[in-house]
Amino acid sequence: MNEKILGGIFGLCVADAIGVPVEFNSRETLARNPVNDMYGYGTYNQPPGTWSDDTSMTLCLMDSLTSGLDYSDIMRKFQSWVDKGEYTPHGEVFDIGIATRKALQRFTDGTEPLMCGGTSEYDNGNGSLMRILPLAFYLSAMKIKNDKFFDIIHDVSALTHAHKRSQIACGIYLSVAMEMLGRRRNIDSGITAAKRYCNGYYGDKPEYEEELEHFERIFSNGFEDLPPEDIKSSGYVVHTLEAALWCLLNTDSYESCVLKAVNLGDDTDTVAAVAGGLAGILYGIHSIPDRWLEQIARFDYIKELCGAFHFSLYKPLYKSAARKLCAYIPYLENIDPERACKFATKPPDAISTPIGYDYEEELLDFIEALSKSKVLHDPLYIKTPIGEFDNELIQTENLEFLKTMISWYLRAERFCDGVWAGAVKSGAFLAILRRLEALML
């Protein structure tokens, strides 16, 4: 699930950043000069890799859910974003929706969280849809289904957008996300299953009947075959959801999906972010081009938030994995490096070129245990500079850094014989386990 979280959150963030410089550009303008990479400046005069309120509010929600579902806390996180510049790429807010601002003002004035969102026909912007993706990971981990699944989605939307149309849009979107988090590897079947699931809920509730008509095109056969001119990409929540799903259905990679979404024009950052979040889950974190990830503002900060979120959802798995690894501490405390890591050569009658190390069985058992501890792997370790390994400094590092080190050591031996031997002799493996024990057990 950690890779799914990274894929979804960075998928959303990267797409948002690609759309920021051309927000409000018309489709005709972009047709003449299409976006084909990550650029900067433009509409908001921000450097490349700058994300907008879409990502900021997504990070607020994810950070809050790390401590459980608390509607007041979510709103307080939103306030910290607006008032203090927290959860922003460069310490300041340069974009916020009108409905969101009004909802936060109501909360400041003492209104209960679930009563803050606007309920009028004109309160159906995409402000709740754009930031609700983290809830899918939470609902999946908590195994929440059926009516409660939709009730929670509607409530999280209602914090800023309480009209039934906005709530339905969020319900459809997260139903698709849940399919992607399951075994669905095909967007067509995923969306079909999600639509069936939504129909089973909304179709039995008369109070949603009239509003459900606004999503008729999404639920109809042949939606993916609509021509581009029939797809609108405005900030209206129905338009945004339609455009995002249409882009997913008409592309076959993360990159092509996001660029198609941006080049639809108008609300480029949000349409791309909504599409990019699902595309990141579907195609995986490694499908996002390195050249884009490397430009993202506060990359390490976002990665750490994702790691903390994942840990909060799967604490028992982390503790179980740490317990199994830390059982090797006595072995590593008493290991004989010369016996455990023998430098091997070819027989004298062959070419006498060194061929690497022969590791004793118990050390290989430890390496295998590291490899099997999937929750303690870091799929983005290459993109996180880890510098020199100092055993004393390791004792002050956080869990995310330990995961980076574990992933680095596991893979490095493939390219340089003796890395594991060096980790044994320097005491790095032992230092990692001692710090893991202090953090987890």
Domains contained in the chain, CATH given: 2-313 (1.10.4080.10), 315-440 (no CATH)
pLDDT tens digits for 345-376?
Answer: 655 555 545 567 889 999 999 999 999 988 89
Rounded Cα distance between 199 and 211, Å, is 13
Question: Is residue 29 a contact partner of residue 265, using CB atoms and an 8 Å limit?
Answer: yes
Nearest CA among 387, 410, 396, 422 for reference residue 325: 410
pTM: 0.90
Rounded Cα distance between 121 and 202, Å, is 19
Rounded Cα distance between 225 and 396, Å, is 55
Backbone dihedral region of 344: left (phi > 0), alpha (psi from -120 to 50 degrees) or beta? beta
Q: Is 232 helix (H, G, I), strand (E, B) or coil?
A: coil
* Cβ neighbours around 419 below 10 Å, total: 18
Rounded Cα distance between 18 and 279, Å, is 14
Question: Is residue 72 a contact partner of residue 80, using CB atoms and an 8 Å limit?
Answer: no
Q: What average pLDDT score do residues 389-405 get?
A: 86
* Helices and strands in the chain, H and E counts: 24, 2
DSSP-assigned beta bridge partners for residue 356:
344
The one-character DSSP state at 356 is E
Q: What average pLDDT score do residues 100-121 get?
A: 96
Q: Which residue has the higher pLDDT, 76 or 383?
A: 76
How confident is the prediction for the chain on average, in pLDDT? Answer: 92
Question: Is residue 130 a contact partner of residue 274, using CB atoms and an 8 Å limit?
Answer: yes
Burial group, residue 207, by CB count within 10 angstroms (0-12, 13-18, 19+): exposed
pLDDT tens digits for 201-227?
Answer: 988 888 888 898 899 999 888 899 999
